[in-house]
Structure 1
Amino acid sequence: MSQFDIVLVRFLLASLASVAAGLTVWALCLLLRRLLPALAMQRTGWLLAQLTVVAAFAVTLVPQQQRIRLLPPVDIEAVDAAVTRYIEPARPAAVMAVPAPPADAAGNTKSSWLAALALCWFAAYVAGLGWHTARLWRAQRLLRQLAASGSPAPIGDNGVPVIEVDAAVPPMLLGLSRPRLLIPRHLRAFDPAQQRLIVEHELTHWRRRDVHWMLAGVLLQTLLWFNPFMRLLRASLLWAQELGCDRDVLRGRPAQERKAYAAALVAQLKLQCLPVGTALAFGGVSVETVKARVALIRTPASAAHGARVRLAAVAALVATGFGSYALQPALAWQGAATPAGVLHCLALADAATGQPLLRQGQCDARVTPASTFNIAVSLMGYDSGILQDEHAPRLPFREGYPAWNASWRASTDPTEWIHNSNLWYAQQVATQVGVPAFQRYLDRFGYGNRDTTGDAGADNGWRLSWVNSSLRISADEQVAFLRRLVNRDLGLSAKTYDMTSRLLKIRTLANGWDVYGKTGTGSPVGPDGKDDRAHAYGWFVGWAVKGNRTVVFAHLNQDQQEQADAAGPRAREALLRVLPAQLDAL
C-alpha cells in the first residue's frame, strides 16, 4: 500500500472516529443536561462539544507518539494483507534471496479493498463538502438579495441598520463586521412593546457576539457534514443562544412584558414560512424549541450556578476529548510499531545511476534507524571538526552515560565507536554539533522523516531521537542517502567522506568487492510505552565497491520472537552470506 493509500485509509478511519466521538459527546451532553438543566442555556458547552468531535477527527489524521497510547497499534498494511493477496516482485532467477518472513508479509499489493474503499469515501466526502459549501453560499446569497430588496425601517437609531423586507421571514441579524437587522413588514401589526422587545432581542445577539458563535458552528458542521451528531450539537448551540438572549432581554422585566414577549414568539412562528439556517432569527429553531422557550419565559431557570455548569461541561468534554485521543488506536504510519514478522526488505541500487537492481519486501516502511544513524553522526562530526581521524578524539566514559553494553564502559575513539555502536559517544558528538546544526544537517541529508523531537514531552531529541523514537527512515530512504554519500553529493568536505568510509570498512569479499556498512538494532514501541524487544528490527546498510562500480544496499529484517543476540549483526551476517552471489548476478 502506497503512502497516499495510507493517508486515505487514515482519513476513512478519522471519519469513523468522529462519528463515534459524536455519539459519545452527544450522550454525555444529554446526561449533563438532565443532571444540570441550566447547561442548555450555555453556549460554551455546545461549541466545545463540536470542537471535541472535530478534535477526534483531527488526532486520527496525524501520526501519534506510540508511548502515550492506551490501545495497541493497528497496522493498516496488516489489515489489508488479511483480505488481499500478495505477489512476489519479479527478480532474476540467478539472484539468491536473503531469508525473509513468510511470503504473505512481503511484496506488493495486487489489489487493496481497503484502499479502494478509502478512495471512494474520500471522493464522496469531497463531493459532499462541495455540495454543502455551495448550499451555504446559496443561502447567504439569498439573504443578501433579501436585504437588498428591503428599505430602511421606521425604527429609532440603535447603532445597527434596520431593514424592512416584504417577506414572511423572522427578524434576523446578518453580518459579522457590519451587522444588519432584517425585520418583516408584518411586524408592524405587532404591539409596539412587542416590536421593541424583538428588536432588543436581536441587538442582544450582536452584543453577545452570537453571530460569530453561530458561524463557528456552521463551519464545523460543514467540515464534518457526514456526522449527524454535529447537526444535533449545532442545533443545541443555536437553542442555547436563543435561551441566553431571552434571559438577558427579560431580566428584571415585569410579568406583563414577559407574557407579551412569549406571545410575540408564537405569533412570529405562525407567520414565517422561509427556513433560516445561516442567520440568527427571532423565530427560534423549531416548534419544539419555541415551546421550551415559552416555558422558560414563564418560569425562568436560575442562573446562579452558571459558572459551575460551564466548569462541569468543560471538564467533561476535556475528559472526553482526552479519552478519544488516548483510546484512539494508533495506526501504523510508515512502519511505526509494526506487528511481528511483517517487515523485511532488501534493496540494492546502482550508486551512479540510481537504477534499482533489487527490491524485495516493504522497503518504504519507516522504522527507527538505530545505530545506522552513526553514519550521519560521523559525517556531522568530521565536517564540523569535532572528529579528527580514526582514533581521535578519544573520549572518557563517565558515570551516567548509557552503558547497555560492557564495551561502552571504557574510553572510546571513533573506530571503537562505530565498531561497538556506542550510544554515548554519538551523543557527545551530537551535543558538540549543537541542536540547530544537528537539524540543518538532517535537512541537508534528506534523512528519513527528519523528526528530531524525540519522545513526547521528554526534550531528548538530540540524545535519543534515532533510538526507537521520533526519527524514522525507510530502506528506500537509506539507499537514497547512501547514494548521495558515495557520490559526495552532501555538500561536505573531502576529508569527511574519506574518514567516514574508513570507519565503515567491513571486509573484502572473495569475489573482490569491498564492503562498507553499519548495523543497527532497534525495536517498535509497544502499547505499554516500552520497547518491544521480541520484535526487534535488524539493519545492515552500506555499499560495495569493485573497480568503477558501486552498489548501495539496505537490508532490514524484523524478528518474530525475542533472540539472545542483537538483530543488527544477524542481519549483516545473513546478507554477507549471499551478497557475493547477489553482486555477481547484477
Structure 2
Amino acid sequence: MAYPCLVSFSGGISLNFVRRVFLIFCLILLSTTQSLQAAPTQILEQAAPFFTGFQGTFVLYDENQDRYSVYNEQRSEKRLTPCSTFKIYNSLIALETGVAPDENMTLQWDGQQRFLPVWNQNHTMSSAIKSSVVWYYQELASRIGTERMQKFIDAIPYGNRDISGGITQFWLRSSLQISAKEQVELLRRLYNDELPFSARNTAIIRRIIVQSDENGVVFSGKTGSGSVEGVYSVGWFVGVIEKGNQRYYFATNLEAVDGATGIKARAISLDILKSLDII
C-alpha cells in the first residue's frame, strides 16, 4: 500500500524542503489553535433601537468570562478619528516623558475665549480630562513633540499610528484613527499594565478617568466628539466598569449628519449596559 504523504529522502527531496513543509504545517496548526482559543462573541441585535438615527457600534469585553458582546460587528472594526478619547493616551505620554510630573500640573489659561465657559480658566490634568479641555491637551502634545509622540504611538501601538495631521490636531478629525475593538483592547491592556508605561502613570490615568464610585461599582470613561463649525458628526464613549472582582471594558461610537456627540454615545452606552444588567 502506498503512503503518498510519507517522503523518502532517497527520492531526491531535500531535507531543507521537508523542514520547510514541517514549518508551514506548524504555523497552520498554531494559527488554528489561536483561532479556537479566541474569545467568543455574542451579537447584540437587541441594541439596535438605542442607535436609532445613527450609524454606530458597541463593543463590550467581559474579562472574567473572556467574552465579547458586540452590536454591529462589521462596524466595530471600522477606524474613526478618536477625538477626545485620545486624551487618555496623551496624558499617559505626557506623564511618561516627564512633560507632566503628575495629574496636578497646572497650565495657565491664555485668555482666549472658547465656546465652553469651563475651558476659560486654568486647568490641571485631572480637571482638563474631566472637562475635555482641548487647549490643555494641545499644549501637552506640543511639549511632548512629534518625535516622542510618534515613538509612543508606535509602541502602544495606537490605531493606524498616523500623526501626520500635526502635533496639535492629529486626533481631532484628522489623521489618527482607531476602531471600537481597538479601543477596548487598549483599555484592557491599560488596566492590566501591559502598555509601555510605568505602573505609577497608568494608575494615575485610571484614577483621573473615574466618573463615579458608588455601591461597589467603579464607572470610568472618556467621551469624544468630532465637530466642524458646530456640526457634530462623530461621537465616542469608551470606558471600564469594575464590580468587585469583575471588570468590563467597552466602547461606543456614532456617526450622523449631526447630533453624534460624546454625550450621546455615553447615554447609549449606559442604556445598553443597563439592559445587560451590568450597571
Q: TM-score, normalized by length of structure 1?
A: 0.38
**Partner Cα separation in structure 2 for residue 352 and residue 389 of structure 1:** 31
CA distance in 2, matches of 1:90, 1:354: 11
| Aligned-pair CA distance for 1:580 | 3.2
Partner of 2:274: 580
3-state SS of 1:407 partner:
helix
Q: Give the structure 2 partner of residue 463 of structure 1.
A: 168
How do 1:537-576 and structure 2 match up within 5 A? 537-560=234-257, 562-563=258-259, 567-576=261-270
Equivalent of 1:536, from 208, 230, 233?
A: 233
Matched, 1:435 2:129: no
Asked if the contact 1:354/1:483 (under 8 Å) is kept, the reply is: no
Selected match of 2:193 from 485, 488, 493: 488
User: Are 1:376 and 2:94 counterparts?
Assistant: no
The equivalent residue for 1:406 is: 117
- Larger fraction in strand: 2
User: Structure 2 residue aligned with 1:513, among 202, 213, 217?
Assistant: 217
Quote the offset at 1:573 in angstroms.
2.2
Instruction: Give the corresponding residue for 2:58.
Output: 346
The 5-angstrom pairing of residues 151-170 of structure 1 reads none
**What amino acid is aligned across from residue 169 of structure 2 in structure 1?**
L
Gaps of 5+ in 1: 1-88, 103-340, 455-460, 524-530
Tell whether the 8 Å contact from 1:540 to 1:572 is kept in structure 2 after alignment.
yes
Q: Report the Cα offset of residue 434 of structure 1.
A: 2.1
Q: Which residue of 2 aligns with 1:498?
A: 203
How far did 1:385 drift? 2.6
Whole-angstrom distance in 2 between the partners of 1:345 and 1:417: 27
Deviation at 1:352, TM superposition (A): 6.2
Please tell me the residue identity of whatever aligns with 1:349.
Y
Change (3 A) 1:578 1:350: closer
Amino acid at match of 1:408: W
Deviation at residue 386 of structure 1 after TM alignment: 2.7
CA contact (8 A) 2:232 2:261 kept: no
Cα distance in 2 for residues equivalent to 1:90 and 1:502: 30
1:121-140 alignment, distance < 5 Å: none
CA gap of 1:435–1:534, structure 2 versus 1, over 3 A, is closer
Q: 1:99 aligns with which of 39, 50, 55?
A: 50
Structure 1 residues 249-260: aligned runs within 5 Å: none
* Residue 177 (structure 2) aligns with: 472
Shift of 1:354: 5.3
Aligned positions, number: 238
Structure 2 unaligned runs (5+)?
1-40
- Can you list the C-alpha shifts for 1:274-305, whole angstroms capped at 9, x where unaligned? xxxxxxxxxxxxxxxxxxxxxxxxxxxxxxxx
Once the two structures are TM-superposed, the CA of residue 568 in structure 1 deviates from its matched residue by: 0.6
CA distances 1:360-392 after superposition (whole Å, capped 9, x unpaired): 3511111110000000111112222333344x2
Alignment partners' CA distance in 2, 1:98 and 1:552:
22
- Output the amino acid matched with 2:264: R
Amino acid at match of 2:274: P
Tell whether the 8 Å contact from 1:447 to 1:473 is kept in structure 2 after alignment.
yes
Higher relative contact order (CA 8 A, sep 6+): 2
Letter of the 2:131 counterpart: N
* Counterpart Cα distance in 1 of 2:183 and 2:106: 29
Q: Indicate how the Cα distance of structure 1 residues 351 and 441 shifts in structure 2: closer, same or farther if over 3 A, else same.
A: farther
Residue type of the partner of 1:100? F
Cα deviation for residue 405 of structure 1 reads 2.2
Letter in 1 for 2:84: S
Please identify the structure whose Cα radius of gyration is greater. Answer: 1
> 1:508 and 1:580 mapped to 2: Cα distance?
16
Displacement after TM superposition at 1:90 (Å): 6.2
8 Å Cα contact 2:223-2:236 kept in structure 1: yes
Query: Aligned partners of 2:158 and 2:201: how far apart in 1?
Result: 17
Output the aligned Cα RMSD: 2.6
Q: Distance in 2 between matches of 1:352 and 1:493?
A: 24
C-alpha displacement of 1:353: 7.2
Greater helix fraction, Structure 1 or Structure 2:
1
Q: In the alignment, residue 451 of structure 1 is paired with which amino acid? A: D
SS in 2 for 1:464: coil
Counterpart amino acid of 2:117?
Answer: A
Taking a change above 3 Å as real, the CA distance of residues 434 and 491 of structure 1, as seen in their structure-2 partners, is same
TM (norm. structure 2) is 0.76
Secondary structure class of the residue paired with 2:168: helix
Asked if the contact 1:382–1:495 (Cα under 8 Å) also holds between the matched residues in 2, the reply is no
Relative distance call for 1:419 and 1:551 in structure 2 (3 A) is same
